[in-house]
Structure 1
Amino acid sequence: MKNFFLKRIQGYVRVYIDAPFPEHFLNRCLEEGIDVWKIKKVGDERLSFFMDLEDVHRIRPLIKKTEAKVHFSTRYGFPFFYKKMLKRSGFVLGIFLCLIMLFTGSNMVWGIEIKGASPQVETQLVKLVNDIGIKRGKFQFHLPSEEDIQTYVTEQLDGATWVGVKKKGTTYQFEVVEQTLPERAELLDPRHLVSKKKAIIHDIFVEHGQALVKPNDFVQKGDILISGYIGKEGKQELVPAVGVVRGEVWYRAEVEKSIESLFTTLTGEQKDKHYLQLFDWEIPIWGFGQPEFSDFETFEDVTPFRFLKWELPVSYKKQKLYETSPFERTYTDEEAIEKAIQFASDEMNKQFSDDTEIIEEKVLHETIENGKVILKIHYKVVEDIMKEQAIIQGD
């Protein structure tokens, strides 16, 4: 049998043959080289099969010779589909025109978005992008690449340290980082801001200087992030680089957590004690003696005495002793792993500054042995990665 896809293109039909001996008709077809398939007997004197549309005219002489009756049941393939479409030419034309309009509109510029620019810089940027042809209704394939656009506007735009260009659908998005000269910049020595560790740039803000990196760039330790040289080549001047660069940094931690944990619970029994505190001396005034329970937890509240606006060296101290009872709990493996992950996150946060953010944590390996859960956890952290590097004149 011929390739089925080709048969779909050429077209084929389902045929029913009624004759005293329909097998004779099939034999004649085979003798003439007519391709038939899926032959099925549906009665004593009836057969069904499929054949190519182009062979239909070749069976007419065979029908006369065998005196068979032929009925064409179902038609398949492109030729029949094409005839149906001709009958609905208006509908087809509408679909075709709609597709052309969608295609055309999808390849044109319909929007320009500018973020981070002051009104003066935004006006200048709009004029620059219009000069290179980025306008509403302009075909995108007539425009330069995003890299070329970024290079051009960064060089031509005054007052901008960095301009990011991104094409999103039919909109060109420009993100501008403007130069901001600090009032006391002249008091600082010329310097670069360099990376103090390996990282991927997450975000950058330049107050003074020239950005040499952009978000998603990978930097090594010592790479210059914000340069102290500003201006175009041949007209550069030295300034103290000022800004903020945060990067994605990776840490790996290993933590152990026991499956069995000992807790202390309060029973509800308590004893109150009251003291008068003078400097380092404590004078009991109520609640003498030891509590009747041996295990307890102590909570204290100290209130100093005051005279007018002055605080005296005498205080009232109230002490509450709560009875405790030890309680041992055994975690399931899943609970122990969850507790270990939380413990590791808390310990990591203690090592970071307040502006550091853990954006991803992933357990690389977990082991349960000797009643302990041992985890190796990978952390992705966004933190300040800058350090200063002095610029020595003449380097």
Structure 2
Amino acid sequence: MSPNFDLTCVVPRSGRTLRNFLHRLVGLGANAEEIAQIVRIIDVSKGSSTPDLPAVLETFRNITRDAPPCFSVFVDRKRAHRPYRIGFLGYEWQVGKHRLRVEGEEPHNGSSLIKLDEVDFAIVGLDELLSMTQYYLRNPTLVTKWGMYNYHLEKPTGIRIAGSAMLTSHNAQLDEQIQDMVGFFLISKPGGRSRSPVDFETLSKHGRRVYVKGRYTGIVHAAYPGLHIVSVEDVEEAVTSGERGSVGIEIVQSGNTLKRKGLVLHGPPLFLSESLLVVDYDRYVQNTALRNLIESLKPIGYFEAERIRQFAKWFYALEQNLGESWIEQPAVESLFCVPEDVPEGLRPYRLQTRKWKPDDRYKRGEAEALVERSRQQLRKCYETLKARNSPN
């Protein structure tokens, strides 16, 4: 039996990334009313999570009765009590000339399904990508920014990052839409007897206990094998309920939860992440429909001007929200990139670039100059934001 769709895409079955990607499809011609109904149920369904399956099924029948038939009940394995929850299963939309099937999955399964040749592309964060594909990378500890990922792929795989999906959501600090960037930061509970700085090298040297969410322990151990890693379900809760000076490593976007719980953030992150267009490159080369769709989604390169503006907004909003609770805050341009990243593959590439991977023999000097221009441009965007929002 032939499918009635042309292409397949995997997205998280719940949460902010799913909601933002569906809104993005509206701009490409997907039915706005259908997507509005779906988003409403996604927002409501989070509160129906419970280990009581009959109760979830009853809620499912009630809230999905007048909605597009695209939901299912799944087990939320990220929670220790493994509750049942309503999530996005799948739906098809006409996007340009092509029929697209969008399927909901666990976030970390996106790259796995590409590896198994079961999906054309996925919306995946670098955190999930690193968790699931370290095996393919020459040195995963050097991949601290998504623009370095393709360069470090060493073993055979079709998995490639086409670029940023440029998904945005409302930021209360700036009262505007900003990109869904996050950092994998050290956080701590204020106080404690230790006077040593809270940074990755010092903690690793002294074998300090650090709380890490289970699915990220492999990434952290690969980067800092000297850390005493304690796997937990909820890092912020473990740090909050621990003794003074307790330390964890957590994904931070806006800093709202840290601020509410009285925790502090330290230094630069282990790596940066955002929603990415991750594509089966072998299919992309062979499939005209896939090439057309990816081009219509307009993946954004690491150094493109719009992404630089969004990075400045994200950094400034986080800085303003946390204030003095961000200890040893790095300069915005050093967080974005440093000259030492260039030899490790942080250089521009386009959809026309072979294997979406910078070539060490091609325009290396131009790439180094671009990195420096990008840093200057980012600093200018950041200073403009500060001046615009200054009370004076």
What interval of TM-score do these two structures reach, taking the shorter chain for normalisation? under 0.3
Say which one has the larger Rg: 1
* Larger RCO: 1 or 2 (CA < 8 Å, sep 6+): 2
As a proportion of its length, which structure holds more strand?
1
As a proportion of its length, which structure holds more helix?
2
TM-score by length of 1: 0.21
